[in-house]
Amino acid sequence: MATRRVKIFSLFERFWHWSQMLLIVALLITGFGLHGFHDLFTFEEAVTLHTSAALALLLLWIFSVFWLFTTRTWRHFIPSASGMWGVLRFYSYGIFKGERHPYRKAYWRKHNPLQALAYLMLKIVLFPAIWITGLAYLFYFAWRDVPHATQWLNGVAVVHTAAAFMILAFVLIHVYMLTIGHSFREHVMPMINGFDEVDLTPEEEAYLSKDQPGDIR
């Protein structure tokens, strides 16, 4: 097993990541404005910006889901019980003793088991919750005549806000994780140039060197 620098994040993944980050930040800022936490925008401006960013993010998610399934990259987001305990132990105990991270990135699995579980929950629970409730809120005019519509709308708003705060918590934890272990720059660079250190089998190293020489250093 050799450790080489390999391109594991494609151009689309990097575009997806940074575009998603910018849109989520825009949604959080305008969302806080709508709830009266600041007065950077008028209410009407905040609604327009929030709705525009939400629709752009929804479009990005549709493309990303299509890309995940057509490239079979979805496999990176399936958590595995193997190695999970080691990662949990590292983040709850070993990290404070300066131990080495127990997970080594593989070409076929670039996320550790805890990362994969967190990203999967984000994609199949939090993201659907935020856009389903967001669309229900946006198109309230279409179902406002159903019985108890006002009570339903209050429930939709509560779920939407709760999901937004959980996504904010995910973002804060995500940024915090970039500050531990390696330097912040070392954590961020793979999502800029696509390359990260990966353990390769002799077969994978030979394949990349011969067929994809631009993806290995």
Q: Does position 52 have pLDDT exceeding 80, yes or no?
A: yes
What the block records as the tokens of 18 is: 């940074």
What are the distances in angstroms from CA 125 to CA 86, 101, 117, 128, 203? 25, 28, 11, 6, 37
Between CA 35 and CA 33 the distance in angstroms is: 5
pLDDT band at 133 (very low <50, low <70, confident <90, very high): very high
Q: Which residues make beta-bridge pairs with 4?
A: 198
What the block records as the tokens of 66 is: 């299509």
How many C-beta neighbours within 10 Å does residue 46 have? 20
Question: How much of the chain, in percent, has pLDDT values that exceed 70?
Answer: 100
Model pLDDT for residues 34-46, shown as the tens digit of each residue:
999 999 999 999 9
Q: At what angle do helices 43-70 and 11-34 cross, to 10 degrees?
A: 150
Which pLDDT does position 78 carry in this prediction?
87
Model pLDDT for residues 62-109, shown as the tens digit of each residue:
999 999 999 888 888 888 888 888 888 888 878 887 788 888 777 778
Between CA 63 and CA 10 the distance in angstroms is: 14
Q: What is the H or E stretch that residue 194 is in?
A: none
At residue 4, φ and ψ (nearest 5 deg) are -130, 160
Tokens 């005549």 correspond to 145
The sign one gets for the Cα dihedral 47, 49, 53, 56 is positive
* Residue 145: strand, helix, or coil: coil
* DSSP category for residue 209: H
